[in-house]
């Protein structure tokens, strides 16, 4: 893949990320490569410049990389993450290796790893098939979550799969996660870890009152429908970055998107499980 124009996004509140973004832009210029530079929060600038870009670099934590992917996936632009966060599940490079690694990708190439995205559609009570999702809510890399908006007040969330009712959870919320997001909120709620390139979805309740099944994995062909029943507020969250209030009787439909997240990788394929153990510090001796 020939890379002639690179977009560089940095977290605007991480000074080290902005400094590295400027250092990278100087290096790209010295190698006669075109680039553009922006805060990851400036969505208008990102949209204007992505159309003729072959690579989008995200410098920050996982939230910055998620923002980059959600924008880049609309045009099938691959994303390369530089980790300034804590765990860095989606990042490819450390800050120390970023400039040399990105220059290597631009001049000698890398390879693309594709991951699933979720497509979301909100259906208000009394509406059926003609609602259209807001563009900002149309895709998620990690997860789609319906959660309670009032403290100490659980929700009743009916879960259906392909027009078949599964169950109704009395819980703080329900998560629908991609394989990528399975190591995030889903894992914290007791859900399973799925290999990141798998295209299955995971349904996990959050603090359910009674649940015979804590999580269920469904194939990419499925359509999941979550319908809320409550007399207080509930919130739909997309990747923790977009939120919309839900009312009694509202539903959200979730399916695997036809679009895919495309990650640019630099070196040989990493050992996912070994990296997972290191990041989560599993296997370390627990001292009394």
Q: Known catalytic residue: 143?
A: no
Give me the mean pLDDT over the 217-237 stretch.
Answer: 93
- The residue range of the domain holding 38 is 5-110+266-280
Does residue 182 sit in the same domain as residue 153?
yes
Three-state SS at 113: strand
| DSSP state letters, 244-256 | EEE-TT-EEEEEE
Residue 253 sits in a domain whose CATH number is 2.60.200.30
Residue 285 belongs to some domain of the structure: no
Q: Give the Cα separation of 204 and 215 in Å (integer).
A: 5
- Quote the pLDDT of residue 271: 66
Q: Which residue has the tokens 């609309």?
A: 74
Residue 286 belongs to some domain of the structure: no
Q: Which of 62, 143, 172, 250 is catalytic?
A: 62
Residue 13 belongs to some domain of the structure: yes
* Nearest residue to 232 via CA among 157, 174, 150: 150
Does residue 77 sit in the same domain as residue 121?
no
Does residue 227 sit in the same domain as residue 144?
yes
Does residue 165 sit in the same domain as residue 271?
no
Helix (H) or strand (E) holding 16: helix 15-30
Does residue 125 sit in the same domain as residue 161?
yes
The pTM of this model reads: 0.88
Residue 288 belongs to some domain of the structure: no
- What pLDDT digit, counting tens, does each position of 113-161 carry? 999 999 999 988 876 554 444 433 468 999 999 998 877 788 999 999 9
Does residue 100 sit in the same domain as residue 144?
no
- What pLDDT digit, counting tens, does each position of 157-211 carry? 999 999 999 999 999 999 999 999 999 999 999 999 999 999 999 999 999 987 6
79-83/55-60 β-pairing: parallel
Number of domains comprising the chain: 2
């Amino acid at each position: 893949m020939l890379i002639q124009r690179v977009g560089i996004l940095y977290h605007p509140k991480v000074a080290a990320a902005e400094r590295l973004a400027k250092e990278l832009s100087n290096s790209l210029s010295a190698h006669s490569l075109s680039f553009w530079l922006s805060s990851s929060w400036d969505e208008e600038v990102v949209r204007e410049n992505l159309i003729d870009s072959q690579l989008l670099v995200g410098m920050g934590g996982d939230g910055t990389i998620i923002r980059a992917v959600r924008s880049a996936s609309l045009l099938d632009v691959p994303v390369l993450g530089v980790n300034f966060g804590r765990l860095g599940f989606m990042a490819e490079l450390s800050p120390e290796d970023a400039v040399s690694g990105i220059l290597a990708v631009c001049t000698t190439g890398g390879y693309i790893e594709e991951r699933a995205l979720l497509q979301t559609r909100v259906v208000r009570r009394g509406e059926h098939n003609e609602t259209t999702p807001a563009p900002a809510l149309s895709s998620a890399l990690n997860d789609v979550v319906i959660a309670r908006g009032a403290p100490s007040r659980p929700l009743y969330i009916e879960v259906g799969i392909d027009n078949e009712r599964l169950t109704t959870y009395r819980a703080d919320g329900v998560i629908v996660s991609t394989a990528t997001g399975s190591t995030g909120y889903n894992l914290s709620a007791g859900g399973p870890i799925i290999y990141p390139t798998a295209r299955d979805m995971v349904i996990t309740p959050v603090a359910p009152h009674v649940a015979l099944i804590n999580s269920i994995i469904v194939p990419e062909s499925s359509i999941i429908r979550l319908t809320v029943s409550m007399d207080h507020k509930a919130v739909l969250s997309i990747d923790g970055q977009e939120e919309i209030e839900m009312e009694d009787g509202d539903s959200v439909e979730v399916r695997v998107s036809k679009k895919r997240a495309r990650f640019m990788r630099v070196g040989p394929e990493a050992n996912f499980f070994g990296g997972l153990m290191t990041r989560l510090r599993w296997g370390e001796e627990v001292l009394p």
